[in-house]
A and B are shown apart, each in its own frame.
Chain A
C-alpha cells in the first residue's frame, strides 16, 4: 500500500510540474500584456505586472486598429468553417455510404494525396486566384480550406459506422438521397461534424502562410498576419506584442474550451481508426 501512495505522489508531482511548464509561456504572455511599457525588459524578469494596466489593449484597438483584423479573422474563419463542413460532409458521406464504380480507387488516390505538401501548388494557386481576381479577398483565403482531404477522411471513417438498414428503410419510405443525408445521417454523425467544425475553425483562425501570401491590404489581414507584421515594427514593445498575442490566441482557446469534449474525442477516434 505504501508503494502505491508513493507512486501516486510521484505521478502527481510529474503531472503538476508538466502542467506548470506547459502553462508558463501562456501565463507570462497574459501577465506581460498588462505591464507598463518597458516593464518586462528587466532583470530579473517580472512575473506579474506591478500596476496592471489596460493601456496595451487600448493601443491595439485605437492606434493599431486591430479590431479590423479581428473582424477579418472572425468572418474568414466562420465562413471557412460552415462551408467546409457542408462540402466535406457531403463528400465523406458519399465515400462511406453511396457506392459507385471506382469509388475505392478514387478514395485511395485522395488519401495518398495527403502526403503532397500544399506548398507544391501554392505558387500556381496564387496565379490562378490572380486570374480569378480573388487575390486580396476573403474568398481567396477561404478557398483552400473548403475541401479538406483530411476532413473527408475523418467523416468517411465515422460514417461507415452508420447502419445501412436505417438508410435503406428511409429509401423504402420514399425519401430522396439528400433528405436521407440531412434527416437520417447528419443527426447520427453530428459529433464528428462538431469535431470537424472545431478543427477547421482552429486551423483557419491560426493559419498564417496562406493569408500572408494572399492578402495584400493591411485592412484585409487576419490577426496572425497583422500580428507578425506588428512584431516587425514594434519588436521593442514587448508588452504591446503580448497584448496582441493574447488577443489573437484567446478566441481559439475559448472555442476549444467550449467544444473540448467532442473535439478531443473526435481526434482520438480519428487517430486510432485512421
Chain B
C-alpha cells in the first residue's frame, strides 16, 4: 500500500490542478471572460460596474492582452479550447476567426436588438465585420490613420497649414528636416508597421492581392510606385529608419522635436494628451492624410484604413446571451462616449460623435473627415500573416538588404506560398465554408 502513495499523491494533485484551472459560474452568477487589448483592456473595467449593476447575475472578468501578442494569444486560445466568451478583435482579424468557425454569427441578434443597428455605424467599418454575407462582429471603436504633427515646427519651416497632397507633403518634410538639423527628421514611420506602405499603396489604387485573393499583387505598378515614394522618405533622410521598439520613448522624442510628424491612429489622441508635457499641448495637431497629386481635386483626403476593433462572441462560449448583453451595453451611445473620453478612441456609434467633447475637439475632426474615405484590407484569414510579411519587405528595402523590385517580388512569392492552402481549398472544397445555421445558444 505504501508504495502506491506517491502515485496517488501525484494523481490527486494533478486532478486538483486541473479542476482549479476551470473557473466557471458559481452560485448562479455567470462569469463572463472578456479579453480586451492594451489600453482598452485597462479602461473598459471602469465602465463595467454599471453593467454589473444592471445585470446582477453577471460578473465580467476582463483580461488585458498586449496588442503585440494579441493575435497569437487568441489563436492559441482557440486551438487550446480556452477562448473567452467575448473578445475585442482587430477588425482585420474577424475574417480569420470566422473562417475557423470560432465566432458566433450575430445577424439574428442584431435583427432582434433594440440597441444595435447597422445604420448607427459607419458603413465602411461595419462592412469589415461581414464575412461572405454573415455578420460576426459589432464595431466597438473605429480607427483609421491620420497625421499627427507639431504645428509649431511646421510653421517655423514655412507651413502654417498641414500638407494636402503628396508633393506638398514631401516639400514640407524636406523643409522641416533641414530646419531641424542633425538628428531631426520630418516624419516617423516605424519600420515594423505595415500600415504606412499599405495605405500609400491603397491611395495609389493597389489591390494588394489578385485572383480572388489567392495571390500576391505587390509588384503591380500601383503598389511599386507608392513603395518608391515611401522608401525615398528614408533614403533622403526625411524619416529615421527605425522600428518602434528602437524609439526609447516616442512621446519624449516627439516633445523634443526629433520628428515633426507621425502617422498614427486615434489611440494616440489620448496618449499624446496624457504623455506630452503641458507646454506642448497647444502645438500638436492632427490632419487627414495627403492625397496623391492626381487625385487632388476629388475633395477627399488620401484613403486610409478602415480599422478599429469589433466585439465578438465566441461560438464555444456557454454564455451567449450574457455575452450579447455585454456587447449591447458597450454599444450604447453613452458608454461609447464615455469610453471614447477615457481612451481617446473614436466611437463606432454615430450618436456618440455628437457628444460635446468630441464634437468640439479639432483633433478628432481630422479623423471624422478621414473616415469618409477608408478602405478595408483583404478579408481573408491569412491577411495578418501577409501584413507581417509586408514589413519584412519594408525593412529589407529600407535597410538596403534588397532592391525595391526584389523586395516586392520576394514578397509576392511568399504571399503566394501563404495562400497555397487557400487556392487548394478553393479548387477542391470551395472557399472555407461558413456555417450559417444559427447560434449554439444556451
State if A and B touch, Cβ cutoff 8 Å: yes
List A residues at the B interface (Cβ < 8 Å).
38, 41, 63, 79, 83, 86-87, 90, 126-127, 129-130, 132-140, 142-143, 146, 176-179, 213-214, 216-220, 229-230, 232-233, 235-236, 238
Which secondary structure characterizes the binding site on chain A? helix
Instruction: Give the total number of A-B pairs whose CB atoms are below 8 A apart.
Output: 98
Chain B residues positioned under 8 Å from A83 (CB to CB): 10, 13
| A132 to B, closest residue via Cβ | B18
**Interface check B80, CB cutoff 8 A:** yes
Per a CB cutoff under 8 Å, which of A38, A86, A178, A216 touches B77?
A216
Q: Are A41 and B9 in contact (CB under 8 A)?
A: no
Chain B residues positioned under 8 Å from A79 (CB to CB): 13, 17
Q: Mark B1-29, 1 if CB is under 8 A from A, else 0.
A: 01101100110011001101110000000
Q: Are A218 and B77 in contact (CB under 8 A)?
A: no
| A176 to B, closest residue via Cβ | B2
Chain A residues positioned under 8 Å from B20 (CB to CB): 137-138
Q: Are A178 and B252 in contact (CB under 8 A)?
A: no
Assembly CA distance A41 to B82 (angstroms) = 40
Q: Are B248 and A229 in contact (CB under 8 A)?
A: no
Q: Are A178 and B3 in contact (CB under 8 A)?
A: yes
Chain B residues positioned under 8 Å from A179 (CB to CB): 2
Identify 22 residue pairs between A and B in the complex whose beta-carbon atoms are under 8 Å apart, listed by A's number.
Answer: A132-B18, A133-B18, A133-B81, A135-B80, A136-B21, A136-B82, A137-B20, A137-B21, A142-B17, A176-B2, A179-B2, A213-B76, A216-B76, A216-B80, A216-B82, A217-B63, A217-B82, A229-B65, A229-B66, A229-B68, A229-B69, A230-B66
Per a CB cutoff under 8 Å, which of A38, A126, A143, A176 touches B79?
A126
**Interface check B67, CB cutoff 8 A:** yes
- Chain A to chain B: the 5 pairs with minimum beta-carbon distance, closest first: A137-B21, A135-B80, A232-B68, A139-B17, A136-B82
Assembly CA distance A39 to B63 (angstroms) = 30
Assembly CA distance A218 to B38 (angstroms) = 12
Q: Are B248 and A86 in contact (CB under 8 A)?
A: no
**Interface check B293, CB cutoff 8 A:** no
**Interface check B249, CB cutoff 8 A:** yes
A107, chain B: closest CB distance, angstroms: 20
Assembly CA distance A157 to B251 (angstroms) = 57
Q: Are B80 and A126 in contact (CB under 8 A)?
A: yes
B246, chain A: closest CB distance, angstroms: 10
B406, chain A: closest CB distance, angstroms: 31
Chain A residues positioned under 8 Å from B245 (CB to CB): 235
Q: Are A87 and B17 in contact (CB under 8 A)?
A: no
**Interface check B64, CB cutoff 8 A:** yes
A29, chain B: closest CB distance, angstroms: 16
Per a CB cutoff under 8 Å, which of A130, A176, A232 touches B81?
A130
| B61 to A, closest residue via Cβ | A219
Per a CB cutoff under 8 Å, which of B22, B42, B68 touches A63?
B42
Chain B residues positioned under 8 Å from A41 (CB to CB): 248-249, 252
Q: Are A87 and B10 in contact (CB under 8 A)?
A: yes
Chain B residues positioned under 8 Å from A130 (CB to CB): 79-81
Indicate the member of A130, A214, A216, A217 with the most B CB atoms within 10 Å.
Answer: A216
Chain A residues positioned under 8 Å from B17 (CB to CB): 79, 137-139, 142
Chain B residues positioned under 8 Å from A217 (CB to CB): 33, 63, 82, 84
**Interface check B250, CB cutoff 8 A:** yes
A79, chain B: closest CB distance, angstroms: 7
Q: Are B248 and A236 in contact (CB under 8 A)?
A: yes
**Interface check B73, CB cutoff 8 A:** yes
Chain A residues positioned under 8 Å from B69 (CB to CB): 229, 232
Q: Are B65 and A218 in contact (CB under 8 A)?
A: yes
A7, chain B: closest CB distance, angstroms: 44
Q: Are A138 and B21 in contact (CB under 8 A)?
A: yes
Assembly CA distance A72 to B246 (angstroms) = 31
Q: Are B82 and A90 in contact (CB under 8 A)?
A: no
Q: Are B80 and A136 in contact (CB under 8 A)?
A: yes
Q: Are A238 and B248 in contact (CB under 8 A)?
A: yes
